Amino acid sequence: MLVREGKKVLLVRRGSEPGKGKWALPGGLVKPGERVEEAAVREVEEETGIRVRLRGLLGVYDLIERDSRGRLRYHYVTVCFRGKSLFTRVRKGGEVLEARWFSKEELKGRELSRVTARVLREEGMLE
């Protein structure tokens, strides 16, 4: 989920694949029977301690990874929402290594997941 507070964006450093060690938008798997919107809100809170209110759908993104022979390793579909933080104090949780707010300037040189980099470019936060 893309959560912005003023000119800052909320990111987590992933503790598991795909993208282990990279900075990414908070999110995760949908539990059986859970609506995707509920999962998005739950995952942001689990990973960052931040409660959010959904502000609409941002986009749907494919993450397809192949091995050196071209065989499919995995295919994830990311449903990305916009969210509004209800408070700003971050508390790392879940399977993430870190969680924090980043300004546009602080994003330079960070190793970002592919989907996160794409979303942030589309939002004008990356060149």
The DSSP element (H or E) to which 57 belongs, if any, is strand 52-66
Look-up: residue for tokens 């290594």? 97
- d(C-alpha 59, C-alpha 57), whole Å: 6
Are 46 and 94 a contacting pair, CB within 8 Å? Answer: yes
φ/ψ (deg, to 5) at 17: -75, 155
**Token digits for 84?**
């509004």
Comparing C-alpha atoms, which of 40, 62, 60, 61 is closest to residue 51?
A: 40
Are 52 and 125 a contacting pair, CB within 8 Å? Answer: no
From the candidates 98, 106, 111, 122, which is the catalytic residue? 98
Residue 98 is among the residues annotated as catalytic for this protein: yes
Name the residues annotated as catalytic: 98
